[in-house]
């Protein structure tokens, strides 16, 4: 039960999406999301990168133990172990999430858009691959769609977190994009809204939107059972549209408020078998 509470509090959009999964597949969906939250919060819960690296190593060993049938007495490990009795999941995708998060423990900036896309692929896309596996879906078209949606989500998540990251003197908007618009990281950290920032955010957001467009080009060939897995494209687009509404001002306070229409939008998308 606790995993549902965690996801509802910290990952509300995917908590909503879990309702569109077949009943028997919901525990796997929420377990994977709870694992992701645990890994994503390591950076915020440790005082230095060395301790963070130790936590990541613990999770690598935990995943090994889970897949060998010998999980440690950790709630999420036990939940994943139980899920594996009914679902065939790949340890590779769990480890890719861990490894990518570990790369960012030292707050090294992304140098290019490609780096940011790689971040999305190794975090959000890998989670979608696990969700496809939990439904028994092995399909190249669904994988392609999931890859692009994950990249879009990864990029959008960086934009969503921009005010928080800036307050901690952390920057994940690519260095080459900032340089293109003559933006100083230090100036952003000090002042927040600076000249050219909205243009830089627009460029990054456009990349995310382009990935959504590409993902949707696979819709006619994607198995209908995969639609629920790909619904995060809807919530990602919701954020990007609101960001556009506020002229790509990532510091707009209203962007931190949940889109009240999202539950209905997700329902309509699922009913019409689109993402």
Q: What is the number of domains present in the chain? A: 2
**133 and 183 co-located in one domain:** yes
Q: How many residues does the chain have?
A: 275
215-249: pLDDT as tens digits? 999 999 999 999 999 999 999 999 999 999 999 99
The secondary structure of residue 108, as a DSSP letter, is P
**28 and 121 co-located in one domain:** no
**79 and 160 co-located in one domain:** no
Give the mean pLDDT of the chain: 95
CA angle 159, 103, 60 (to 5 degrees): 120
pLDDT for 4: 53
**60 and 90 co-located in one domain:** yes
In sequence order, the 6+-apart residues with CB closer than 8 A to the CB of 156 are 205, 208, 236, 239, 240
Q: Which two tokens stand for residue 27?
A: 């525990």
Model confidence at 3, pLDDT cuts 50, 70, 90, reads: low
Of 86, 106, 126, the domain-final residue: 106
pTM for the model stands at: 0.95
What letters, b where the CB count within 10 A reaches 16 and e where it falls short, cover 118-137?
Answer: bbbbbbbbbbbbbbbbbbeb
pLDDT for 269: 98
**135 and 271 co-located in one domain:** yes
CATH assignment at residue 268: 1.10.600.10
The secondary structure of residue 258, as a DSSP letter, is -
**57 and 160 co-located in one domain:** no
254-268: pLDDT as tens digits? 999 999 999 999 999
Q: Tally Cβ neighbours within 10 Å of residue 256.
A: 10
**256 and 168 co-located in one domain:** yes
Q: To the nearest 10°, the Cα dihedral for 22, 25, 97, 233?
A: 0
Separation of alpha carbons 67 and 72, rounded Å? 11
- Exposure on the CB side of residue 267, measured as CA atoms within 13 A: 5
**101 and 117 co-located in one domain:** no
Separation of alpha carbons 202 and 207, rounded Å? 9
pLDDT for 108: 83
Q: Which two tokens stand for residue 196?
A: 């050219």
* CA nearest neighbour of 270 among 226, 217, 218, 216: 226
pLDDT for 47: 86
Separation of alpha carbons 29 and 27, rounded Å? 5
Average pLDDT over residues 87-110: 95
pLDDT at 273 over 80: yes
**130 and 238 co-located in one domain:** yes
**100 and 115 co-located in one domain:** no
**146 and 136 co-located in one domain:** yes
Average pLDDT over residues 102-117: 93
**138 and 196 co-located in one domain:** yes
- Exposure on the CB side of residue 46, measured as CA atoms within 13 A: 19
SS3 call for 34 = helix
Of 58, 86, 106, the domain-final residue: 106
Q: Domain range for residue 214?
A: 107-275
Of 106, 132, 158, the domain-final residue: 106
Separation of alpha carbons 222 and 171, rounded Å? 36
Quote the distance between the C-alpha of residue 274 and its chain's center: 20
pLDDT at 5 over 80: no
pLDDT at 2 over 60: no
What letters, b where the CB count within 10 A reaches 16 and e where it falls short, cover 28-64?
Answer: bbbbbbbbbbbbbebbeebeebeebeebbeebeebbe
Model confidence at 59, pLDDT cuts 50, 70, 90, reads: very high
CA 34 vs CA 123, 174, 220: distances in Å: 13, 28, 31
Strands (E), the chain: none
């Amino acid at each position: 039960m606790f995993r549902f509470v965690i996801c509802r509090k910290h990952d509300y959009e995917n908590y909503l999406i879990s309702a569109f999964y077949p009943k028997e597949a919901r525990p796997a969906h929420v377990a994977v999301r709870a694992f992701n939250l645990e890994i994503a919060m390591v950076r915020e819960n440790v005082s230095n990168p060395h301790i963070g690296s130790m936590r990541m190593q613990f999770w690598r060993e935990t995943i090994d133990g889970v897949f060998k049938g010998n999980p440690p007495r950790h709630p999420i490990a036990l939940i994943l172990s139980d899920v594996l009795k009914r679902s065939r999941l790949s340890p590779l995708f769990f480890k890719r999430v861990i490894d990518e998060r570990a790369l960012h423990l030292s707050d090294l900036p992304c140098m290019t858009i490609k780096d940011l896309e790689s971040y999305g692929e190794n975090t959000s896309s890998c989670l979608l691959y696990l969700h496809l596996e939990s439904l028994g879906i092995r399909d190249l078209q669904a994988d392609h769609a999931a890859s692009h949606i994950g990249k879009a989500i990864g990029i959008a998540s960086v934009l969503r977190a921009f005010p928080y990251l800036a307050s901690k003197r952390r920057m994940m908007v690519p260095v080459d994009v900032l340089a293109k618009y003559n933006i100083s990281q230090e100036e952003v950290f000090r002042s927040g809204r600076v000249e050219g920032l909205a243009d830089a955010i627009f460029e990054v957001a456009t990349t995310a939107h382009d990935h959504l467009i590409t993902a949707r080009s696979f819709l006619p060939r994607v198995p209908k059972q995969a639609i629920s897995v790909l619904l995060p494209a809807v919530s990602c687009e919701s954020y990007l549209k609101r960001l556009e509404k506020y002229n790509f001002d990532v510091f707009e306070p209203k962007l931190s408020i949940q889109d009240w229409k999202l539950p209905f939008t997700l329902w309509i998308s699922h009913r019409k078998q689109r993402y």
